[in-house]
Structure 1
Amino acid sequence: MHHFNKVLLVDDDDATNFLTELAFKNLAIANEIEMASDGLIAYEWIRQNNCPDIIFLDIRMPRMDGFDFLDNITKMNVCKQAKIVMLTSSTRAEDKAKAFTYKGVIDYLEKPLTEKTIQMIANTWFDK
């Protein structure tokens, strides 16, 4: 299974971040796990750091939502190699359709993220 150098979790829900981080730690497949409580914090983090291998991105967040975050990193022309998984509680078909209009988005999943789902993502998108 693929070992991630850096994972970025972008969600304003502390419980979701905790569970996602715990799943990655239980699998022991990430060197670094960074968390941002909204898109603006994630955007600033990306401007100051190397891009992660994968970003798990919520849609509905204060200050800068997931789509605004995607718009901003697209405009900045950064993190083109990072894969993005929308991890959200939104079941709106229009949100899912919009998410896949962004080049880096590889999947659209409902919360919470499980170890099994992480393994599926690693095997499908990284171990080629």
Structure 2
Amino acid sequence: MKKIDIACIVDDDPIFVYGAKRMMQLANFCNGFLIFNNGKEALRKLKSIIDSGEDLPDLILLDLNMPIMDGWQFLDNFTQIEVDKKIIIYIVSSSIDPVDIERSKKYGMVSNFVVKPISTDKVKEIMQEIAENNFL
């Protein structure tokens, strides 16, 4: 299976961020990480990366409930930016609300909705989905 170059985690929970990074490292999922604590920080930095021509992440794991700018606000803004590269977005949330799951399907960039916590098996499932759907 093809390894992702850069994975981006947008989440305000340091325990989740640590665990997700660890699970991805154990699964040999990616070469590096970008970590942001809220949608506004992620949006600002990703725009900067686009403007400078640096490498964008291949995958974004996006939490919904964050301070300053939540995941929905991030998606509303990020989908308005013209990007030459396909970026895979997985919403990773503690929400089990069917309304959130249905709402996520309205965003073409969102590949799937994952309920926290994330495990090594779930990371491997994501790798499999990416490979099967030729996302990279």
- TM-score bin (small chain): over 0.9
May I ask how many residue pairs the two structures share in their alignment? 128
Residue 73 of structure 1 contacts residue 79 of structure 1 at CA under 8 Å; is this kept in 2? Answer: no
Residue 2 of structure 1 contacts residue 123 of structure 1 at CA under 8 Å; is this kept in 2? Answer: no
The gaps in structure 1 that reach 5 residues or longer are none
The gaps in structure 2 that reach 5 residues or longer are 50-54
**Structure 2 vs 1, CA of residues 96 and 69 (structure 1 numbering), >3 Å: closer, same or farther?**
same
Q: Does 1:87 align with 2:96?
A: no
Match for 1:97 among 102, 118, 133? 102
RMSD, aligned α-carbons: 1.4
- Normalization by structure 1: what TM-score? 0.93
Partners of 1:48 and 1:26 in 2: CA distance: 30
Partners of 2:60 and 2:30 in 1: CA distance: 12
Q: Does 1:123 align with 2:128?
A: yes
Partners of 2:45 and 2:129 in 1: CA distance: 27
> What's the counterpart of residue 57 of structure 1?
62
Residue 29 of structure 2 contacts residue 127 of structure 2 at CA under 8 Å; is this kept in 1? Answer: no
C-alpha displacement at 1:79, in angstroms?
6.7
**Structure 2 vs 1, CA of residues 7 and 44 (structure 1 numbering), >3 Å: closer, same or farther?**
same
Partners of 1:54 and 1:79 in 2: CA distance: 14
Q: Does 1:10 align with 2:27?
A: no
In the TM superposition, structure 1's runs of 4+ consecutive aligned residues that sit over 6 Å from their partners are: none
Identical aligned residues as a percent: 27
Q: Does 1:69 align with 2:74?
A: yes
- Normalization by structure 2: what TM-score? 0.88
Partners of 2:107 and 2:71 in 1: CA distance: 11
